[in-house]
Amino acid sequence: MDVKIIGNGVWGKAIYSVVKKNVPTVSFLLRGEKATVRDVLILSVPTQSIREALQLISFKEKHGIVINTAKGIEKNTHYLPQQIVREAFGEGARYYSLLGPSFANEVVDEMPTIVNLGYTDENPLNQDVRNLFLTPYFRVRLTQNIEALELSGAFKNIYAIACGFANGLGYGANTRAKLLVLAIEEMSELHANLGHKMEVNMTAGTLGDLILTCNSIESRNFRFGSYLATHKKDEALALVKSTVEGLDSLASVEYFKKKAKTKLRLASFICELVSIDKPKSAKKNFEDFVALT
């Protein structure tokens, strides 16, 4: 397989460091270069940039392979990455999603890591694609429910903002644990109402990713929430100096609330928290929420 990575940010480079061990010819797709049907394309760009990145891909044949690594929801359309790719190519590409608890710098440092590779149907190629990433320190579990995997990846970024906010106010592990419990209960109801079957082998990309993102300042979403406790939104974003996927995904909370016919109380509260844009008022609202929920 000829592997091309679209996006040479920190995560793209981390993925490159893994795939390079199995495919010495892996490379980044350069601006102006077109992918061919022989290539396996790995999308390592933010969700809001996927549609633009797909313009670099010219294949339509069914044996083209696209692997997403973004965690988020496209604003306006409320599409998950899978839906964006399907709209562009129909069934003209085999689609996978590689998601899980994996900070880029720790992957580069070869710290033991486990993620999920979501696929759409049973096929011998699934194992071949898994093997592109498999190393002694980077373990990959296959799972078929891509929609549940991608939705979890998007919502865990939203919940990380709340945990970061708690951290910024000086709350400790107990409060983060409480927020995690609320998030897990909320995500469970969301998936159940949408008819998602939550398989045991997709724990890495659902609960594992949630736990990691909600408990570390390395997470951009957690860091944004922490800054938001004492700064206005634009100031907090400037301090993060990177894409905050959870902030973009907030635009879809109301959509999924209606689609799943569920309240999404914590996610809705985070929308409110971000929109206040006055640290003192937001602090009071947060204190009331964690005390009464």
- Active site (catalytic) residues: 156
Give the span between the Cα atoms of 182 and 67, in whole angstroms. Answer: 31
Which amino acid is present at 8?
N
- Sequence-distant (6+) residues with CB within 8 A of 174 are none
Three-class DSSP category at 119: strand
The dihedral region occupied by 124, where left means phi > 0, alpha psi between -120 and 50, and beta the remainder, is: alpha
Q: What is the maximal distance between C-alpha atoms in the chain?
A: 56
Give the span between the Cα atoms of 279 and 229, in whole angstroms. Answer: 6
Give the span between the Cα atoms of 121 and 290, in whole angstroms. Answer: 42
Query: Which residue bears the tokens 């899980």?
Result: 100
